[in-house]
Structure 1
Amino acid sequence: MKKTLALATLLAGLSAPAMAGTLTVCLEGAPETFNPQLTSSGTTSTVLGQIYDGLVAVERGGSQIEPALAESWDVSEDGRTYTFHLRQGVKWQTTSDFTPSREFNADDVIFTFERMLDADHAYNKVNGGNYITFNTKLADALESVEKIDDHTVAFTLKEALAPFTGIMAHGSLKITSAEYAEQLLEAGTPELFDRNPVGTGPFQLQAYQTDAVVRLLPFAQTWGAEQNIAENTPMVDAIIMAISADASVRVQRALAGECQIAFYPNLADAPLIEQSENLDLVVAKVASSGFITFNFKMEKFQDIRVRQALAHAINMEPLVEVVFNGMGHVTGAVVPPAFWGHADDLAPYAYDPEKAKQLLADAGFADGFETQLWAVPVARPYMPNGRRAAEMIQADWAEIGVKAEIVTYEWAEYIQRARAFEAEVGMFGGIYDFPDPSQIPNNYFTCNSEGTPSPSNIGAWCNEEFISVMAEAGAITDQEKRAELYLKAQHILYDDVPAVMFGGADQLMAVSKDVKGFAPAIFGTSRMSGVTTD
C-alpha cells in the first residue's frame, strides 16, 4: 500500500492523476538515455519510441515494414543501394532550449548516420559513443550514406544485405536533428544532445524524475497530425510513465486505476487481470529469446567441458514450467519457433547430473567451483522472473558441487555492467524489433571484423564459423537458403555451448477498458499515438 500511495503522491506533484486526457503507463525500468542510438534496451525504446521517428517502421501490431520519415524507397538491381525518398513538411519539436528554423530534411539523416559511421565526427565520441545496434548490424556492411537532394538519401552497402529495411526499422536507428546538434556544439554542450531529446514523433519529453517517472506531452505539429494519419497522431493531453521494477506492484496499480497500461505483469497474475471489471488482459505474441551466457574472458569457461557440465546440470523443463507459469516452451534454439529458420530439432541439453559431474572432473573441477550467476531484475517475455530462474539453477548446480552466488542490479546498471563483461554467468535476452531471424543471433553472439564482441555479446564468444554463416545468410535474398544457413548457425552455437537457452512466452499487458486504439507491438515498440482514454 505504501508503494501505491507513493505513486499517487508523485503523480499529483506532476499533474492531475489519471483522468480523461491523461494516459498513465507503468514501466518495468528506467530509460538509460534519451538518444535511441545509444541503446538497444526495449525498456528505453518504449519511452524513446514516442519521441523519435525512423525512416521506416514496423506496422502497428503487425510485421510489415511501412513508410515513416521516408515515404518510399527504391532498391538497386544488385541489392546494394537503397534510395529513400523523404517525407516533406515534417517539423521538429520545439523545447525550452531549442527552436528549429527548418523542417526535417536529408541533412538530418546524414548527420544521424555519419555520427555513428565516422570515427572523426564531432559527435562520434560524445557520451561514450557506443552505438550498439549500428555497430552490430551496419558498421561493417555500410559503405556510404549520400545526400542526393534535400529530400533524397542513398545508402550504399558493401554487399547485399537481405534484412536491411528491417534493420532500418530498429528502434535505435531513429533520426535526430542536425541543427540541434550544431547549436549545442557551438554552445560547448554537445553532451546535452543525448539527455534533452528533440524528435519528430507524436510526443515530446516534459520531465524525467530519475528512476521514478517520465512525463510526455503531445507534439501537436507532428507529421502524423499534420498529414491526418490517425495512428501517428497524439490523442491524449499527456502521458505519465511511472517506473516500477516490481511486476506485482505494477498490476496492483493497474487494478487501482493508477496505471491504464501496465507492462509485463507476472504470468501468475493473468487470472487476476482477467477477473477484473476494469482491465483487459492483452496478449502480444512477440518473438524473443532468453538465455544464460558463459564469460569467455574467464579461463574456466573457455573449457567446453565446464560449459557442457553446467548445461547438463540444469533441469530445464520444470524451470520453464515454473518460471513461465505453464505458458512457456522449452527449446535449445536461439531463433524462436515463431520464425522461419527455427531449429526445431534442438531440444534443451539433457538433464544429467552424473554426466555433469564427470565432465567437471575431466576438466579438473572434481570438487566443483564458485561462480556468480546474474539474474535479470525486470520481467521480460524471454524471462518473466529472473530471480526465481536463478534460484532454480543455483539449486541444480549445487548438486554437482558448483556454488553460484546470485547477483543483480537495477536494470540500466545491469545492462551496463553486463556489457562491460562483468557477468561470470550472465542472464540476458532480447525481443525481436523487426521480422527477420537474424536479429538476436547477430546482436548477442557475433563479433565484428576486428574481433570485438557486439555490445550485447556479454559472454564475448567469437566463433569464426558462426559469424561467417550468419554473414552469408544476411548477404542473400533466397529465404529457403537463408533458413538453411540459420539452421546451421544454430547448431554451431548449440554444439559449442556459449549459452543455455530458456524457453519463451507471449507478452502480457494489463490494459484499462477505458483505453481505446492501443495495439501492442509484435516487433519493436508499442506506440501511444492514436490511443485515447474515456
Structure 2
Amino acid sequence: MKRKQYVMILALIMSLLLIATGCSSGKDAATQDNGNGGTTAADNSKSNGNKTLVFGRGADSVQLDPSKVTDGESMYVTNQIYDTLVRYKQENTEVKPALATDWQTSDDGKVWTFHLRKAVKFHDGTDFNADAVVYNFKRWTKSADFVYYGYMFGASKDNMKGIISDVEAADDYTVKFTLSEPNAPFLQTLAMPPFGIASPTAIKKYGDNYFKHPVGTGPFIFDSWVKDDKITLHKNKEYFGQVADVDKVIFRVIPDNSARFMELQAGTIDVMDGLNPEDMQKVTDDSNLKIVSRPSMNVAYMAMNTSKKGPMSNKKVRQAINMAIDKKKLMSLYQGIGKEAKNPMPPSLWGYNDDVKDYSYNVEEAKKLLAEAGYGDGFTMNLYTMTNPRPYMPQPKLTAEAIQQMLKDVNIKVNIVENDWDTHLAKTEDGEHDAALMGWTGDNGDPDNFLYVLLDKDNAKKGSAGNIAFYKNDQVHDLLKKGQITMDQNDRTEIYKQVQEIVHNDAPWVPIAYTTPPMAVNKKVMDYVPHPTGSEPFNYIKLK
C-alpha cells in the first residue's frame, strides 16, 4: 500500500514538473510580437477544428532570415513565411509570377524591370511596395553575412554589390535592376528562397534579432520557435495567392530517423523526411502511410580541403582517395534511393557531362599514386561529418565509417569528427576539416548553382565558404564567369561540360551519390508535391 501511495505521489510531482517545464519553455521561444498572436493550445489538438500539419525533421533551422542561411532546414520554414519576386512552379524550376506580376529585360540583358503586385501586406500590416524590394536588395550588399547574395551575384569584400550595379524604385510598384553584365540565370536566381522579401519595418524593429522574428508576405505567419524542438506557423488568411487549407504548421525536430518514423506510425507527426531506406517497405505495408519521392536534383560528396598544406593539397593524393573508395559498397547504405555520382552536378540538369569517366575502384593503383606523391607510408586525416541525416545522405555516420575502413586499405588513417548540422556547417565553412562529408540540393535548376557556388574560387572564403574544398582554379573560374554572361543555353552547356572535365581531373571531391529522397506521409495529407529544390510552400497541401 505504501508503495502504491509513493508511486501516486511521485506521478503527481512529475506531472506538476512537466506542467511547469511546459510553461517555462516558452520563455526560450523566439516569439514574434506583431499583433498576430501566439499559439498556446496543445500542438496536436484538433478539438478546436483547426487543421494542423506536423512536419518531422532531423535537425532544427539555423535561423529564419533566409538571406543569411544556406541550409535546407532553415529554407523549409522560410519558404512558408516569405515570397520572392518570382516563384518556381509546383513541379519544376520553371519561373512564374509571385510578388512581381510581369517583367521585361533590355536587349543587352543588363536592365530588368519588374512590375509588382498591388495591395499586398507584410504580416506586420505594413505595405509591400517597390521601396521594400529596394531596401532588401540594398541590405544584402552591406555585409558578407548575406552569403547567398555573394554566391549568386558575385559579391565580395571589394565589390559588395556584385553584378547588381543598381536597384531603384521607378514608381511605387515598379523596380528596375541594372546589372554590370548580363546574367543568364538571373531570373531563376530571384526565385530562390534566400531572396524572400522581408518587412523593412520588422528588420529595423528587431535589429540583430530579426532572424528570430521573421516577417514576410507568404502563405504562413510565424508564431514561435523553441530551439531544437519546434517552430510553429499559422496560415495567412489574407494571402494574395492560394490561401492554405492547413490552419497551422508545426516543424518538429526529431534527430533520430527511427524515432521519427515511430512517431509517424503513431500519428503524432504527419510528414517526415530522412526516412531510413530499410523502412520504405514498412511504409508501403502500412495502410495509413504512403511514400512520396522528391525529384532528384542533388549530389552527396566528400570534399577535400585543398587549401591545407600537406596531403590534401596534392592532386595525386586526391585522385588516389577517389580510387580507394568503393562507391558500389557505399550505395548499399542508400538501398535503392541513390546512384553513384561522378560529377559535381546531377544528371537531371542540362549541361551534365556523361562523357566523364569516373575513377575506378583500384586499391593498388591508389597506393601507387600515394607513393608517387610521397605518401607511400600513408598519413592521418580528420573526416568531418554531420550527425543528422540529409536528403542526399540518409546515413552520414555509417558513410563516414565505411570510408574510414576503405581508406585504411591504402594506409590512410581516418579520424571521424561528428557534429550536429549547424556546427558542421560552421566548421566546414571555416575550413577546419581535412575532408568533410557534405551535399547540395539545387536551388534553381541551373548548373551555375552547383558549379559556381560549390567550386569557384569566389566562394572559397573562410567563414562563409560554399566551396568547402577551397578549390581554386583560374581556368574554371574564367569558364564559370563566361557561363554566367553567355545567354545561349547550347553554348553554356559546352562551357559546363568543360568545367566538369577539369574538376574531375583535379579531384577536389569524391562525388558519392545522386538521390531520389523518399518522404513518408500520412494518407490524410493530400496534394503534397515535393519540389526538386528541396523545399516547397505548404499552402497547396490539403488535409482530410
| Structure 1 and Structure 2 fold alike (TM over 0.5) | yes
> Residue 307 in 1 paired to residue 318 in 2?
yes
Amino acid at match of 1:54: T
- Residue type of the alignment partner of 1:511: V
Distance 1:211 1:66 in 2: 34
Q: Which residue of 1 aligns with 2:214?
A: 197
Would the aligned equivalents of 2:61 and 2:74 in 1 still touch at CA under 8 Å?
yes
C-alpha distance in 1, partners of 2:460/2:74? 29
Question: Which residue of 2 is the match for residue 160 of structure 1?
Answer: 182
CA 1:463–1:168 in structure 2 vs 1: closer, same or farther (change >3 Å)? same
Q: Tell me the equivalent position of 1:318.
A: 329
The residue aligned with 2:239 is: 222
Unaligned runs of 5+ in 1: 1-5, 95-99, 225-229
Counterpart check, 1:112 vs 2:129: no
1:65 to 86, 95, 119: 95
One-letter code of the match for 1:215? T
Shift of 1:451: 7.5
- Map of 2:533 onto structure 1: 523
Deviation at residue 252 of structure 1 after TM alignment: 1.4
Residues in 2 aligned to 1:26 and 1:339: alpha-carbon distance in whole angstroms:
29
Instruction: Map 1:85-234; keep pairs closer than 5 Å.
Output: 85-94=115-124, 100=125, 102-117=126-141, 119=142, 124=143, 129-138=144-153, 139=155, 140-182=162-204, 184=205, 190-224=207-241, 230=242, 233-234=243-244
User: 1:25 corresponds to which residue?
Assistant: 55
Among 279, 291, 294, the alignment partner of 1:281 is: 291
Q: How much does 1:488 deviate? A: 0.2
Identity among equivalent positions (%) equals: 28
Q: Is the 8 A contact 1:36 1:174 kept in 2?
A: yes
CA distance in 2, matches of 1:377, 1:154: 44
Q: Which moved more, 1:265-274 or 1:448-457?
A: 448-457
1:109 deviates by 0.7
User: Is 2:71 the partner of 1:41?
Assistant: yes
Q: 1:267 aligns with which of 277, 289, 304?
A: 277
Superimposed CA distance per residue, residues 225-247 of structure 1 (whole angstroms, 9 cap, x where no aligned partner): xxxxx3xx122221111112222
Alignment deviations for residues 386-425 of structure 1 (CA, whole Å, 9 cap, x no partner): 1111111100100111110111211111111111111210
- CA deviations 1:323-343 (Å, max 9, x no partner) are 211332113111211111111
Contact 2:327/2:340 (8 A) holds in 1: yes
Q: 2:101 touches 2:116 (CA, 8 Å); kept in 1?
A: yes
> Corresponding residue for 1:83?
113
Partner Cα distance (1:317, 1:433) in 2? 28
Other structure's SS at 2:444 match: coil
Q: Which amino acid aligns with 1:160?
A: P
Q: 2:491 aligns with which of 470, 481, 488?
A: 481
Tell me, yes or no, if the aligned pair for 2:43 and 2:250 is still in contact at 8 Å.
no
Matches within 5 A, 1:487-502: 487-502=497-512
Residues 1:517 and 1:297: Cα distance change in structure 2 (over 3 Å): same
Q: How does 1:239-388 map to 2 (within 5 A)?
A: 239-300=249-310, 301-320=312-331, 322-388=332-398
Structure 1 residue 505 corresponds to structure 2 residue 532: no
State the Cα distance separating 1:452 from its structure 2 match. 7.3
Structure 2: how far apart are the matches of 1:524 and 1:268?
A: 22
Taking a change above 3 Å as real, the CA distance of residues 133 and 450 of structure 1, as seen in their structure-2 partners, is closer
Q: CA offset at residue 14 of structure 1?
A: 5.5
Q: 1:181 & 1:389 partners in 2: Cα distance?
A: 41
CA distance in 1 between partners of 2:460 and 2:356 (Å):
31
CA contact (8 A) 1:18 1:259 kept: no
- 1:357-506 correspondence to structure 2 within 5 Å: 357-448=367-458, 455-506=465-516
Instruction: Show CA shifts across 1:138-178 (max 9, x none).
Output: 12322211111111111111111111111111111111112
Q: Distance in 1 between matches of 2:323 and 2:101?
A: 51
Cα RMSD, aligned residues only: 2.1
Q: Against the structure 1 CA distance between its residues 512 and 451, is the aligned structure 2 distance closer, same or farther, given a 3 Å change threshold?
A: closer
Amino acid in structure 2 at the alignment position of 1:210? K
Query: What is the CA distance between 1:89 and its match in structure 2?
Result: 0.7
> Helix, strand or coil for the counterpart of 1:223?
coil
